[in-house]
Structure 1
Amino acid sequence: MQVGIIVAALKKHRLATFLIAIEIALACAVLCNAIFMFMEKSRALNLDSGVEESSLGVVQLSGFSADNANDINARVINAIRAIPGVESVGVISAVPFGDPGVRAGVNIDEALERSGGVLDFYLGDAVALNSLGLKLLSGRMPEPAEYAPIEQYVPSNAPVLVTKQLADRYWPGQAAVGQSIWAMDTRFTVIGVVEHLVVSQPGGGEALGNDWSLIVPAVAGPQFAGRYVVRAKPQDLPRIFGQVGKVVSAAAPDVVFDQTASRPVSELRSDYFRGAKVMMGLLAAVIVALLGATALGIVGLASYWVEQRRKQIGIRRALGATRTDILRYFQIENFLIVTMGIAAGLILSYAMNLGLMRFYELPRLPMAYLPISAIALWLLGQAAVLVPALKASAITPVQAIRSL
């Protein structure tokens, strides 16, 4: 079957061909970006926090002064630790997917000329840091003597742990252990590198990466109180957190127990990504509706052309064309139309992505999504035209004559 003959026939139906090609171009542009956004949300849902979420929960308090902080810490920790099944309770500044703690911009040179961006500072006492279940890749964990009191926001000249993502960014090809970071008028010395520790609110804030986190050993005190990480077996956490509110209220009736923020980390994660799950559902619905509308458009146009060409089909059959010849004609014709639409759609995809990058801070569309969308539309086009094409191939010369 010569493509030139098909192209010549399409020129006689320029408006219909143009409209279906435009529909496919729009479908391609939306499909590329919708699939990309869906995969981005999916990656966020599967984000590795770096901590043992199923075994951890957080208790958050407010409504007390710094003068009472040491007493509050002691009473609350003892009360929670007394709940059967609790393995450990430590003071911490933040947990993944919870309320943020200390955030600050850092520099990676003493002259403060090389900015390292904004990091989440996770402050924790010895019990809290050991409870998180961080995976140490190099270096060591803080020693007992390295846990120091907070002077204003952080301990002065403290040893810290960094994530692998930060180590690779700040000191590519070098050992991170022994390097220094400067922030909040103090120097931090790296003593270890952990595989992951996600920022408290991934995808939000000013952090440029999900693992832009710094772990600082600290001693609980007036500037460091009111938030506690609880470790227990996963099967015990629901029961423990069913009792935490009553236990804390009895031990410290003069504080405010934040019930919304005091939950297992797995629940905090689920709530944090609830909006992403809704968005994924909407994107999936958009993708399905878009493909369905495109398929219906192709079916409608092909069916219309079959009815318009019954006489020509009958004549071709009478001249010796087989059913396969007729079927191939419509498949090739549709393939050419879809290809024209895809060619325009790929350009439109990037234009749409630039708009999303500008107004919604979406990352740049990877090239890999273009062939994925193109192949999906080619397959859809061939499947959609199949029924009308089979109907056309079944027309006999006698049927064509009778329909005149």
Structure 2
Amino acid sequence: MQLKPILASLRHHKLTALLLMLQVAFSCAIVTNAVFLIVQRVQRVTTPSGLDERALSLVTVSDLDAGANPLALHKADLAALRQLPGVGSAALISNVPFSNSEHSSGGCTSLAAVQAAMKAQSLKVPGCANADVYSGTPGTLDTLGLKLVAGRMFNADEYMPGKPPGQSVSVSAMIVTQGFARHLYPEHPDQVVGRDVYFDHGLMKGQPTRIVGVVAHLHQANVSGDGNDDQSALLPVEPNEARALFALRSTPSQRTSVMKAAVAALNKRNPGRQVSADDAQTYAHMRASYFQGDTTMIGLLLASALGLLFVTALGIAGLASFWVQQRTRTIGIRRAIGATRGDILRYFQAENSLIVGAGVLSGLVLAVALNLLLMKRYELPRLPLWYLPLGAFALWTLGQLAVLAPALRASRVPPVVATRSV
């Protein structure tokens, strides 16, 4: 019943209504895409590593004068670290997830698959897959908090000292993640223990490595977002380089004291060594540093989206207040001829609903166009269609809330105003 007078009123305020529609349209398009990008970043930041992060601390040592056998020095350091109060376990490891330090290698389930990969010059052939490689001394799995879901841990006689950088070591056993197992054996991912894989050095030499265990999850060193971030493998290779990375497991409340004690113990063992407090950090701190850019982007996008919504709400409320002031005499006349407060309230809400609804419909088209532009320029994923109705509902609800105060004020205009305004 109020549609005709609403449309008649809007025809007298075409430019103002059009500007508000455009503001709502651009807000809908930008906010919808901003929320999508925020969700993408949050998912990236909250990516599980597979480690027991709250109990883990890391100490980095760079022995430039380590000599010909750095592993012997590192093992002596490791023995000293294991004796520190509060240290539940410790291990010398190659790297950890989200460390920007990675070593990846390929694996194939058969020699035929190896030949097919070499012919195609790619591991994207059936029976082959790529994985990030982690290695460490005995106790690595316990220290990192990795849990076996099948098979066993490495035996003591399966560990081998690593070789200088650039040289590979042939090992007889390996532990893989469930993700890597699914890529190697998609038909029987739960039956990989005991199977042989031509992996890393053995891939080129034709020497198989037996899978002896499976862990639930161990993220790769970096986030690629290609769906293969859970493809990792652990090898019983003891890092043998001048740089050493020690992982210490303790209770969360003791991490700070354990790191300080570790730095003091390492410097005491070798007075010429200079291990500073900056060389020791909790895993949580290292992870936060890795995702610093993402968390900053989340904050910027969130602030931009909220700011844009605030400006839009302010525009809607301001325009509604202006129209209420302009139409005070008209509202009084309507009240005098029998319109109730509810009628006046519903009028302004319906009018706002038409303007915002038209803006939202245009905004949905702009949201898709903006997403296509971002996909082309920045290789971002496609905006899921279910974001569109959510964005539309959010902007429409914002419009109704923004117009509520002016509409309530209009509904309280008394009928006597009609005579006073004459």
> Distance in 2 between the 1:100 and 1:148 partners?
21
Q: Paired residue for 1:163? A: 177
Q: Tell me the secondary structure at the aligned position of residue 83 of structure 1.
A: coil
1:94–1:227 CA contact under 8 A, matched in 2: yes
Please, what TM-score do these two structures have when normalized by structure 2? 0.84
What percentage of residue pairs aligned between the two structures are identical? 38
Query: Displacement of 1:331 after TM fit?
Result: 0.6
Q: Which residue type is aligned with residue 94 of structure 2?
A: S
> Distance in 1 between the 2:44 and 2:209 partners?
30
> Distance in 1 between the 2:359 and 2:263 partners?
60
Q: Tell me the secondary structure at the aligned position of residue 215 of structure 1.
A: strand
Structure 2, unaligned stretches of length 5 or more?
A: none
- Name which of structure 1's ranges 119-128 and 331-340 shifts more when overlaid on structure 2: 119-128
> What's the RMSD between the two structures over aligned residues?
2.9
Q: Paired residue for 1:101? A: 102
Write out per-residue CA displacement over residues 178-226 of structure 1, whole angstroms, 9 at most, x where no aligned residue. Answer: 3636445625554433222122333xxx563474342322232645861
Q: Tell me the secondary structure at the aligned position of residue 142 of structure 1.
A: coil
1:163–1:211 CA contact under 8 A, matched in 2: no
Cα gap change, 1:165 to 1:4, in 2 (>3 Å): farther
Cα gap change, 1:142 to 1:209, in 2 (>3 Å): farther
Write out per-residue CA displacement over residues 47-75 of structure 1, whole angstroms, 9 at most, x where no aligned residue. Answer: 32211122222221222456131332133
Cα gap change, 1:83 to 1:381, in 2 (>3 Å): same
Q: Which residue type is aligned with residue 174 of structure 1?
A: H
> Mapping of 1:268-283 within 5 angstroms?
268-283=286-301
Q: Which residue type is aligned with residue 306 of structure 1?
A: V
> Mapping of 1:95-174 within 5 angstroms?
95-104=96-105, 109-110=113-114, 111-112=116-117, 113=120, 114-115=123-124, 119-150=131-162, 152-156=166-170, 158-174=172-188
> Distance in 1 between the 2:233 and 2:172 partners?
10
- Name which of structure 1's ranges 141-150 and 180-189 shifts more when overlaid on structure 2: 180-189
Q: Paired residue for 2:43? A: 43
Q: Which residue type is aligned with residue 71 of structure 1?
A: A
State which of 297, 306, 316 in structure 1 corresponds to 2:334: 316
Q: Tell me the secondary structure at the aligned position of residue 270 of structure 1.
A: helix
Q: Which residue type is aligned with residue 133 of structure 1?
A: G
> Mapping of 1:4-19 within 5 angstroms?
4-19=4-19
> Distance in 2 between the 1:46 and 1:333 partners?
43
The aligned length equals 401
Q: Which residue type is aligned with residue 371 of structure 2?
A: N
> Distance in 2 between the 1:271 and 1:319 partners?
68
Q: Which residue type is aligned with residue 34 of structure 1?
A: A
> Mapping of 1:8-87 within 5 angstroms?
8-62=8-62, 63-65=64-66, 67-87=68-88
Q: Tell me the secondary structure at the aligned position of residue 335 of structure 2.
A: helix
Cα gap change, 1:336 to 1:85, in 2 (>3 Å): same
Q: Paired residue for 2:215? A: 194
> Distance in 1 between the 2:225 and 2:66 partners?
30
Cα gap change, 1:314 to 1:59, in 2 (>3 Å): same
Matched, 1:241 2:253: no
Query: Displacement of 1:95 after TM fit?
Result: 1.7
